[in-house]
Every structure is written in C-alpha cells, then in structure tokens.
Amino acid sequence: MFRLLIRLALFSLAFTTVLPLINGIDFHGNWGAALGLSIFFAVMLWLVDLVAIMISAVLTVTTFGLALLWIIPFWILGFWLLPAVALRLVADFVPEFLTVQGWMPAILGGLVMMFVSLVTSDPLWEERQA
C-alpha cells in the first residue's frame, strides 16, 4: 500500500514537473488533477499491458508457437513503447488536463513514466527492506 502511494505521488510529480519539460507535452491543472491523471495512467498502463499479453497469447496459441519467433524480439525491443501508448491514450481521454502532440513526445514521456515504475518496482523494494 505504501509503495502504491509513493508510485502515485511520483507519477503526479512527473505529470506536474518533468513531462511539461518535454516539447509537445502540456499539463493543464493542479496537483489534484495530476493525482487523478496518475491513477488513470496506472489503470491505462495495466490495460495496455493486459491487451498486449492477451494478443501475444492468442497469436502464440493459434500459430502453435510459431508467432513466438517474432513476438519475443518485439517484447525485448518494444517493451518501452507500452507506457507511450498508455500516455497517448490518457491524453486522448482527458485533453483538458494533458495534451501530447505526436509520438516522439509520447515515447519520451513514456520513458520517464517507465523510469518511475522501475524505481518503485517490487525487486528494488524487496532488497531495501531485507
């Protein structure tokens, strides 16, 4: 629970301070709007990950595993695109608080959000508490 609150606070901080520094990303709102965007981004990222996993599973089963020949390299090389897709979707759903103009700012913003996710991930917290 504590880790979730820290993650939401860091996402909010990223929305208010770091992401507006990227050309093409504009945040319009206060801390409360940033907190709402953080929750919405976390849910959207979970949904994007879930859809990507479901598509991979369906393609793997329907091709009897042959799709793994291109799915595995795509996951290795393209995992950093999922936060960018989630960020674009959040900006599309709530343009009054967040605007993202193009895919390059979305990719850069997604990398920032991925860094926040990595900082608050399970393995890092387990090592510090042990």
Residue 116 within any structural domain of the chain: yes
What pLDDT does residue 80 have? 85
Give Cα separations from 15 to 77, 88, 124 (angstroms).
26, 13, 23
List the domain range (segments joined by +) for residue 85: 2-124
Q: Tokens standing for 28?
A: 């319009």
Those residues of the chain that have pLDDT short of 50 are none
- State how far Cα 34 lies from the chain centre: 15
> Does some domain include residue 24?
yes
Beta-sheet strands, E only, within 1-130: 25-27, 98-100
Among candidates 73, 82, 71, 70, which has minimal Cα distance to 106?
A: 82
pLDDT score, position 125: 58
Assess if residue 107 is contained within a domain: yes
In-domain check, residue 51: yes
| 130 in any annotated domain | no
Asked if the structure places residue 129 within a domain, the reply is no
Query: Based on the structure, what is the number of domains in the chain?
Result: 1
Query: What pLDDT is stored for residue 71 in this prediction?
Result: 86
Asked whether residue 102 is assigned to any structural domain, the reply reads yes
Kindly report the backbone phi and psi dihedral angles of residue 98, in degrees, each rounded to the nearest multiple of 5, phi listed first.
Answer: -140, 130
- The widest CA-to-CA distance across the chain, in whole angstroms, is 50
| CA–CA distance, 78 with 129 (Å, rounded to integer) | 31
